[in-house]
Structure 1
């Protein structure tokens, strides 16, 4: 499972524009619904 620390470690030198972990209820069909741990990660590759 990805965490904020793992993602920062995988992209050294990248400019992190957004990094946010949170829980939210999702509805993705019969087999996957309910509370889920999510993470948003947006980063810019160095020049």
Structure 2
């Protein structure tokens, strides 16, 4: 399972524009709906 710390480590040296973890209700079809833990992570490659 991904975490913000894991993503920050994986993208060390990148400019992190947004990093947030949260819970939300999702409805993505039969068998995949309900409360989910989500991460939004946006980073810009250096250079």
TM-score bracket for this pair, using the shorter chain length: over 0.9
Deviations 1:1-43 (A, max 9, x none): 1101000000110000000000000000011000000000000
1:19 maps to 19
Q: CA RMSD in A?
A: 0.4
Give the 4+ runs in structure 1 shifted more than 2 A: none
TM-score by structure 2 length?
0.97
Q: Structure 1 unaligned segments of length 5 or more: list them.
A: none
3-state SS of 2:5 partner: helix
TM-score by structure 1 length?
0.97
Q: Structure 2 unaligned segments of length 5 or more: list them.
A: none
